[in-house]
Amino acid sequence: MPDTLAHPVRFGSNAGQPVTRRDGIAKVTGTATFTADNSPENLLHAVYVPATIARGRVTHLDVAAAEAHPGVTMVMTPGNRPALQGDPSAKPTMFSFRIEVLQDDSVRYAGQPIALVLGETLEAATEGARLLNPRYAAEPARTRIDDDEAAPVEPGGFGRPAGVEHGDVAAGHAAATKAIDVTYETSAQYHNAMETHAVVAQWEGDKLSLDVPSQALLMSCAGYAYFFGIPAENVTIRAPYLGGGFGSKAIPTGPQVLAILAAKETGRPVKLMLTRQQMFGPVGHRGATRQRLRLGIDDGAALTVIDHEGLAATSSFDDFVEPAANASQGLYAAGALRSAHRAVRLDVGTPGPMRAPGEASGSAALECAMDEMAEAAGIDPLEFRLRNYAETEPGTGKPYSSKALRECYMQGAERFGWSGRPLLPRQMKDENGLLTGWGMGTALFPCPMFAADARATLRSDGSALVETSAIDMGQGAWTALAQIAADSLGLPLDMVEFRAGHSSLPDGGVAGGSGHTATAGGALHAAGGDVIRQLGEIAAADPESPLHGAGNAAFSARDGRLYVDGDDSRSDSFADILARAGSAELVGNGSASRAPEDAEKFSMHSHGAVFAEVKVDPDLCQVRVTRMVGAFAAGRIINPKLAESQLLGGMIWGISFALHEEAKHDPRTGRIVNADFAGYHVPVNADVTGLEVLTVHEDDPYVNALGIKGVGEIGIVGSVGAIANAIWHATGHRIRRFPIRIEDLLTA
CB 135 within 8 A of CB 315: no
Residue 667 DSSP class? T
- Residue 555: CB atoms within 10 A of its CB come to 20
- What is d(CA 540, CA 551) in angstroms, rounded to the nearest whole number? 6
Q: In what side-by-side order are the strands of the sheet with 113-119?
A: 72-76, 113-119, 44-50, 270-273, 198-204, 207-211, 235-238
Contacts of 678 (CB under 8 A, 6+ apart): none
Q: Is 713 a catalytic residue?
A: yes
The number of residues in the chain equals 748
- Residue 206: CB atoms within 10 A of its CB come to 11
- What is d(CA 363, CA 517) in angstroms, rounded to the nearest whole number? 24
- What is d(CA 634, CA 444) in angstroms, rounded to the nearest whole number? 10
- What is d(CA 649, CA 643) in angstroms, rounded to the nearest whole number? 10
Beta bridge partner(s), residue 255:
none
Contacts of 560 (CB under 8 A, 6+ apart): 462, 490, 491, 492, 495, 573, 574, 575
Max Cα-Cα span within the chain? 86
Residue of 613, 644, 713, 743 marked active site: 713
- What is d(CA 498, CA 331) in angstroms, rounded to the nearest whole number? 39
- Smallest CA-to-CA distance from 388 within 380, 153, 707, 396 is with 380
- What is d(CA 384, CA 638) in angstroms, rounded to the nearest whole number? 33
Backbone angles phi, psi at 324, to 5 degrees: -65, -40
- Smallest CA-to-CA distance from 663 within 672, 655, 654 is with 672
Count the alpha carbons within 13 Å of 317 in the hemisphere toward its beta carbon.
20
Peptide bond into 739 cis (omega under 30): yes
CA torsion 658→663→668→671, rounded to 10°?
180
CB 725 within 8 A of CB 368: yes
- Residue 84: CB atoms within 10 A of its CB come to 20
- The kind and range of the H/E element at 590 are strand 585-592
- Smallest CA-to-CA distance from 60 within 43, 79, 47, 41 is with 79
- What is d(CA 54, CA 510) in angstroms, rounded to the nearest whole number? 32
Contacts of 398 (CB under 8 A, 6+ apart): 392, 601, 602, 603
The catalytic residue positions are 713
